Chains A and B, each alone.
Chain A
């Protein structure tokens, strides 16, 4: 099935650094979501975005809904060890895409102390 493209695929950063990752699609979406997944667990919803151009924050996390509706960005400020995990973007479209989320390929974040 279709998966959205996420970059980078993985990143290894120092504690305290800011992190940026993005997600792109060939299709437009009405809603963008960002999830974090720890090993052996299900994805946990971090942020939901509903309007093109929207910028939303959740603590140290900030996400943006791209104005073309085909991309989204996630920033993490001042990373800490518990930020380690895999970050997935997911898109939802009201018509044509049914009721499913289409997920990205994931960005694996590793934090060096």
Chain B
């Protein structure tokens, strides 16, 4: 399967712990995006990479959140000192052009 993959699919953590998610985009795609989706809502943009450069960050991305794409391939999203409000589905998408974005299966985060 050559689609976007995300790991882990599910993560349960205690408040205050750090968590890290990984996204592997479609191999020929140079653009990578992170979105967050809460129950009953559409995905909301968090951040965007073109190759290894992080070109855009949403105001939703507080200073507890950091994303990297060190070699322009896979990306990681880290949340430090998790809060219950961080519970959501974290989606990764990749694209060759900005508009046709292909999504992975997501990582469901539950903060207890």
**The stretch of B11-19, B67-75, B78-86, B93-101 that contacts the partner chain:** B93-101
Residues of B within 8 A of A40 (CB): 105-106, 108
Q: A4 vs B43: C-alpha distance in the bound complex, in angstroms?
A: 11
Q: Number of A residues contacting the other chain (C-beta, 8 Å)?
A: 26
Interface size on B, residues (CB 8 A): 29
Q: How far is the CA of A42 from the CA of B35 in the complex (A)?
A: 11
Query: B86 → chain A, closest Cβ, in Å?
Result: 16
Residue contact A42 to B91, C-beta cutoff 8 Å = yes
B-facing mask of A1-15, CB < 8 A → 1, else 0? 101100000000000
A-chain residues with CB within 8 Å of residue B40 when the two chains form the complex: 106
Most buried by B among A30, A88, A99, A103: A99
Interface residues of chain A, those whose CB is within 8 Å of chain B, are 1, 3-4, 30-31, 33, 35, 40-45, 48, 88, 90, 92, 98-106
By Cβ-Cβ distance, the 9 closest A-B pairs, closest first, are A103-B42, A100-B45, A42-B103, A92-B99, A31-B99, A99-B98, A99-B48, A42-B106, A43-B103
